Structure 1
């Protein structure tokens, strides 16, 4: 086995083509904050109660967002209302649909946006002309008491026609907890985050992203099957993909990370599509196992896998296009650092 070390190229690809730049991060915060201001002003205009809490969630909060050529970014920003604040003018408790509609109406209060907010099954979506959208899941805060008569809060999501117990922040804590556990031991938790983003980038090429599975499904698969490799993101990625593929060949069922429900069931079409794409990628990468594999060939197969030309544009050792051997290594402290003067993001 040649074992061409493409860690340098992989971390460069992550730095330049996958992780968000400082400018993009700032734009995300600005968009999120603008959405919050619009919601606040709209509820004030309608003389309706404000949410008790507003929390970013999903890939934005887990720092696993990836670059998208179409600016197709999904920012999740949950609105958590006190139970008694989600009532109509007659004092009746709002249905899940009515709660989402109230938030939707608030976002459209001044009519200044070209695209009106729309009510979805699990959220209210505001699409912006630049291509990105903000999803606002609507929650109500339910307070009960435990066996010792102490108050306990939990959250219910306005999902379809039902209030469903849910809290996306628990998913963020689950993911960040795994990162922290790895960082506390011998493994690099940041490598797991990079492998997560690289896998999402692979799955979301332009012709695939409307067919493949969700970001949370991919994240769950990576966390469950992550294989670390010191100073070798290329090897960690490939070995993690092998483990995911082996599992998905048995079943496409994916369990929710914190709730006793399924993210995907056996036979799920989107997970099946992702599995098939992953299997094809692993077959392409078998070139790396050949004893006569050159660095140029290794770079070419990684280009094929990610549908890019980034890898073959990187220099070969000694300037020989057919050379074998290891690339210059970079330390994990630098692998998530961009070259635009920014700090770590992922």
Structure 2
């Protein structure tokens, strides 16, 4: 069996086609900060209480966002209000929908944006002309007592017509904590983040992204079934995919990372779609196991998997232009994995 080392190609693909550029990240921060200022000013104008805190969460905070040709980027920025501050003029507690509407009204009060914010089931959404949108989930902070009669805070999301126990920051802490833990051990936490992003990039190709499962579901699958491979992101990705596929062939149920509930139930259509796409990709990559597999064939297989021509356009390793089974392009320093736009290495 051959082992065509495509780690260098995969590293370049992650750098150029998956990781967000400094410019993109800067634009998102600008929109996020502008949204926070707009919310603050709108609440002040309406003489309503400010949230106790506003926190970025989700893939933005976990640094697992991936490039999208349509600029379809979702920035989650949760607004956390003290429970007593979510009341109407009569002192009656706001319903979940009314709480979301208050935030929405604060974002649109001056009418300056071309696209006004809208109330969604689990958030308030502000869409920008460039394609970005900021989702602002609305939480209330509820204080209870533990068995020692000490105060304990928990968080409830304004979801539909209910206040549901939830705190996306806990999911962020779960993922970033694992990355940090792995980085201090034998496995590579940064590699797990890269494998997560590569998996999300695979799933979000044109024609698939509206059918496939959520980013958090893919992240949970990668974390649960991650297979590290020193200095070989291509191998780690394929072996992780094999482990995920084996799991999904048995059941498409996915547990929530921090709550006692499911991200996906049995028979979930979006997870089933992702599973079928993943199985197809693994079938295409079986050419890598053939004894006579060439580098050209390996690159073509990865191109097919990611619906690109990036891999076959990479410079030949062996220097003779044949794209054959030459030696692998070794990554000898962090500099080789840096962006060419001034950005550093992204995990």
TM class by shorter-chain length? over 0.9
Q: 1:322 to 1:337 in 2, by over 3 A?
A: closer
What displacement does 1:318 show? Answer: 2.0
State the partner residue of 2:77.
77
Uncovered stretches (5+) of structure 2, i.e. residues with no partner: none
In the TM superposition, what whole-angstrom CA distance separates every residue of 1:251-284 from its partner, at most 9, and x where no partner exists?
1100000000000001100001100100000000
Partner of 2:341: 340
Match of residue 216 from structure 1: 216
> 1:117 aligns to what?
117
| CA shift in 2, pair 1:264/1:332, >3 Å | farther
Q: How does 1:275-290 map to 2 (within 5 A)?
A: 275-290=275-290
Output one character per residue of 1:199-223: Cα deviation in whole Å (capped at 9) or x when no partner.
0000001111111100000000000
Kept in 2, the 8 Å contact 1:6–1:326? The answer is no
Name the structure 1 match of 2:132: 132
How far, CA to CA, are the matches of 2:337 and 2:87 in structure 1? 46
User: Matched residues in 1 for 2:4 and 2:21: separation?
Assistant: 29
Equivalent-residue separation in structure 2 for 1:280 and 1:180 (angstroms): 33
**Partner SS state of residue 259, structure 2:** coil
Deviation at 1:344, TM superposition (A): 3.0
Displacement of 1:168 in angstroms is 0.5
Residues 1:229 and 2:229 aligned together: yes
Q: Following the alignment from structure 1 to structure 2, what is the Cα–Cα distance between the partners of residues 331 and 203?
A: 30
CA contact (8 A) 1:4 1:295 kept: yes
CA offsets per residue over residues 105-142 of structure 1, 9 Å max, x none?
11111111111111111111111111110000000001
**Take 1:306 and 1:80, find their aligned partners in 2: how far apart are those partners?**
39
1:149 partnered with 2:167: no
Q: CA RMSD in A?
A: 1.1
For residue 154 of structure 2, give the secondary structure of its aligned residue in structure 1: strand
Alpha-carbon distance change, 40 to 215 in structure 1, aligned in 2, over 3 angstroms: same
Separation of aligned partners in 2, 1:225 and 1:334: 29
Whole-Å separation in 2 of the counterparts to 1:336 and 1:49: 46
CA distance in 2, matches of 1:266, 1:336: 40
1:93-112 CA-partner distances (Å, limit 9, x unpaired)? 00000000101111111111
Q: Structure 2-normalised TM-score? A: 0.98
Post-superposition, which runs of at least 4 consecutive aligned residues in structure 1 deviate over 3 A?
331-336
For 1:327 and 1:226, locate their aligned partners in 2 and report how far apart those are by CA, in whole Å: 24
Q: 1:305 matched to which residue of 2? A: 305
Partner of 2:199: 199
Aligned mates of 2:236, 2:125 — CA distance in 1: 36
Count how many residue pairs are aligned between Structure 1 and Structure 2. 346
Structure 1 runs not aligned, ≥5 long: none
Partners of 2:280 and 2:235 lie apart in 1 by 17
Q: What is aligned with 1:274? A: 274
Alignment of 1:1-346 (within 5 A): 1-316=1-316, 317-331=318-332, 333-334=334-335, 337-346=338-347
Q: Distance in 2 between matches of 1:169 and 1:218?
A: 18
